[in-house]
Chain A
Amino acid sequence: MKKILAFVLIATLAFSMAACATSSGTMEIYFLNFKPEIAEVYDKIAADYEKETGVKVRVVTAASGTYETTLKSEIAKKDAPTIFQINGPVGFQEWKDYCADLKNTKLYSYLSDKSLAITEGDGVYGIPYVVEGYGIIYNNAIMEKYFALSDKAVNISSAEEIRNFETLKAVVEDMTAKKDVLGIEGVFASTSLNQGEQWRWQTHLANLPFYYEFKENKNYCNTVLAGLAANEIEFKYANNFKNIFDLYIENSCTPKNLLGSKSVNDSMAEFALGKVAMVQNGNWAWSQIAGTEGNVVKAEDIKFLPIYIGMPGEENQGLCIGTENYFAINSKVSKEKQEASIAFLEWLFSSEKGKSYVKNELGFIAPFNTFEENEKPTDPLAKEVLAWMEKDGVTSVAWTFAAFPSEEFKNYFGDALLEYTQDSKTWDDVVNVVKDSWKSEKAK
């Protein structure tokens, strides 16, 4: 009996040791992916890369909205991610101890605009890999139908002529009055205010008033730095924010009090099904629109409009363009692994094969000079973003929300917006919440 037991135990021991030995044989890097919508593409890329170089790339994708959670638990493991991503200067502060210096890498040298990288002192710790833009997406088919009406209240004849808030408001309100003729349920898709679905307002829309506020601070060369340095804010353009936010909720396809249960997916579906003419979102939304069952929006009809909030001179304002996706290399894994991870990223963004993946399947507007003019992405919204970036005399709005003090700040803001929408808070209350939570979150 004892002999059998001993034999079994030894057998298990030997087996487990053998298992360990095989797994440590080849080089393996571990990439913790942020974007669930393109997880499958990364699996393909990893397989191809292993075929070409013999280096195994393990890709793990965090479910939507759980990246920080997943990263926190994964990085504590012995087999930690070697490539992960941070969301900007604030995220860098959190993960500082884990970010390797990338100053001397080829990847950094590929970056067409070096100021986009996250730096501290001499070091470079985060490299952006995708540039994104957002604004008001509109369905030109519906807009053309409206502009063809003989009794329209405005004297412009195409959506491209909307160049300021006043015109936008006039068009939107007139469209709401004529929504039955136009066959829509509202002009704007639902202002999604469900918990966790508020980022389009407390982050993206809030970007604009703060961009203008921080731009007035001439001590800093960009609005993010000015924002990071601000311990308190005035929220000077709160009323401009209110203008556009009111326009969204008053001319929506959903009554105000029901917005608390709407998600971003709901809004995008409403847009894709042609129930509404406009929705505020970014170029990443294309796959969502195109993938909606029963989608009626044609690729050539989908266009971008900057978010006008009634600032003087906003005729020259462009889309909000920036990034919150930065690659970082885990400095706590072995040197070899760090180098292998960098090599993988360099391969992805500079080899022919890697670039074709980036352009055709990942659909990134990559900010690297390794991409030729004809290697830009082809989806309609990405093309629109590029077109707006190149328009003469138009200035893009920087992603100033990278300077927002914390997720908590955004949550307080979003909660206040929900209560304002449901009439349980006044606008002044919202302004105070925003100012106070900025101050208290900064103080920590």
Chain B
Amino acid sequence: MQKSLAKHFPLFVAPTLIAFLISFLIPFVMGVYLSFTEFTTVVDAKWVGIDNYVKAFTANTDFINALWFTVKFAVVSVVSINFFAFITAVILTRGIRGTNFFRTVFFMPNLIGGIVLGYIWQIIINGYLYKYQVTLTYDAKYGFWGLVILMNWQLIGYMMVIYIAGIQNIPNDLIDAAKVDGAGPLQIIRHIIIPSVMPAITICLFLTLTNSFRLFDQNLALTNGAPARKTAMLALDIYNTFYGRNNWEGVGQAKAVIFFVLVATIAYLQLKLTRSKEVEG
């Protein structure tokens, strides 16, 4: 068995490996290469060194602004999404009536595409702001909170499901024992539930963090950066740089590389940090 597996090893690995090469590795390497060049189409590029990286920061403040906006957004939405998701998960594991119905309903927003969601929320928020004779584009803070609400609405259900799975894995006798010892509901959450669902927290933090950083469709559909790119996040800024101006494709590419490094670093640090808090099973 061992031997025949070794013999057919290429056969099993090849399809995935080829797909991985074509759709991930090659574009990635090309992308990094292109960030050092000036190009109109990806097949003819001229080497310009680190010019693009310098331009990304010095030519205008768009990238820095987008970075700040994204960081602020990520902090607010990571905290709020996980908070609400955890609360709903705790409530929906208490066996109240209609639990399954609520779980399904909360999960559903996650199944709708980002662009559609963006436009739907644009209509809802504008409909509300119309009462005050303004729109989403009036002030960057409307766009900011609009995005936070949208993101919460979309991701809470998903994270909730992960937390529910975590909570359901906690042995009942552990909680019963805590109750017998006289622990109140808050104490149970703090000392029993949270430490036990640490793996779920790791995953949820990772997903919300990377999702917030990479947010694109919702941003494009909801505000498209208005007013004056004050609500443009990193991904949107990269897109605008790449397609918005002549001969700036390389700069867009350079921004994308910086973006990758940034997201990868933050995600790695976060994983390391929360992993260390997980209780060994």
Contacts and interface: CB of A to CB of B under 8 A. Distances in A.
Interface string B22-66: 000000000000000000111110000000000000011000000
Contact of B244 (A95, A261, A407): A407
A407 B224 CA distance: 16
A123 interface: no
Main secondary structure of the interface of A (DSSP, over half): helix
Interface stretch (B158-166, B225-233, B271-279): B225-233
Contacts of B43: 76
B243 A69 contact: yes
B135 A424 contact: no
Contacts of A406: 245-246
Interface string B214-239: 00000000011111110000000000
A49 to B, nearest CB: 28
B169 interface: no
Contact of B138 (A76, A93, A416, A422): A422
A255 B135 CA distance: 11
Interface of B: 40-44, 59-60, 122, 126, 130, 133-139, 223-229, 243-249
Contacts of B229: 415
Contacts of B41: 72-73, 75-76
A193 B40 contact: no
Main secondary structure of the interface of B (DSSP, over half): loop
B228 A255 contact: no
A260 interface: yes
Contacts of A72: 40-41, 243, 249
B227 A418 contact: yes
Interface string A381-422: 000000000000000000000000011100110011011001
Nearest to A69: B243
Interface residues of A, number: 34
Interface string A226-270: 000000000000000000000000000001011011000000000
Nearest to A260: B137
B227 A415 contact: yes
B130 A419 contact: no
12 contacts: A195-B137, A195-B224, A257-B138, A260-B137, A260-B227, A407-B244, A407-B245, A408-B244, A415-B227, A418-B137, A424-B227, A444-B59
Given A68-B243, A69-B243, A444-B247, A419 B228 contact: yes
A424 B243 CA distance: 28
A87 B81 CA distance: 46
Nearest to A95: B40
Contacts of B40: 72, 94-95, 97
Contacts of A331: none
A199 B136 CA distance: 20
Contact of A258 (B122, B135, B226, B247): B135
Contact of B228 (A93, A94, A97, A418): A418
A424 to B, nearest CB: 7
Interface in A67-115: 68-69, 72-73, 75-76, 90, 93-95, 97
A239 to B, nearest CB: 22
Given A76-B43, A415-B227, A415-B228, A408 B245 contact: yes
B48 to A, nearest CB: 13
Across the A-B interface, give the 3 residue pairs with the lowest CB-CB distance, nearest first: A260-B137, A415-B228, A195-B224
Nearest to B126: A261
Contacts of B227: 260, 415, 418-419, 422, 424
Contacts of A93: 246
B224 A257 contact: no
Interface string A169-212: 00000000000000000000000011110000000000000000
A258 B228 contact: no
A68 B248 CA distance: 13
A258 B246 contact: no
A258 B134 contact: yes
Contacts of A419: 227-228
Kindly name the residue among A93, A194, A195, A418 whose own CB sees the greatest number of chain B CB atoms within 10 A: A195
Contacts of B243: 68-69, 72
A440 interface: yes
A422 B244 contact: no
Contacts of A261: 122, 126, 135-137
Contacts of B223: 195
Contacts of A95: 40
A248 B243 CA distance: 31
B246 A90 contact: yes
Nearest to A412: B228
Contacts of A257: 133-135, 138
A258 B228 CA distance: 16
A196 B137 contact: no
A427 B110 CA distance: 44
B44 A260 contact: no
A349 to B, nearest CB: 28
A75 B248 CA distance: 17
B60 A440 contact: yes
B244 A97 contact: no
A95 B224 CA distance: 27
B253 to A, nearest CB: 12
Contacts of B130: 258
B247 to A, nearest CB: 7
Given A90-B246, A260-B227, A76 B42 contact: yes
Contacts of A411: 244
A407 B226 CA distance: 16
Contacts of A422: 134, 137-138, 227
A416 B228 contact: yes
B226 A260 contact: yes
Nearest to B245: A408
Nearest to B122: A261
A88 to B, nearest CB: 12
A444 B227 CA distance: 25
Contact of A260 (B135, B246, B247, B248): B135
Contacts of B245: 406-408, 441
Nearest to B239: A69
Contacts of A68: 243
Contacts of A440: 59-60
A119 B72 CA distance: 49
A193 B137 contact: yes
A279 to B, nearest CB: 20
A408 B40 CA distance: 17
Contact of B246 (A75, A94, A193, A418): A94
Contacts of B59: 440, 444
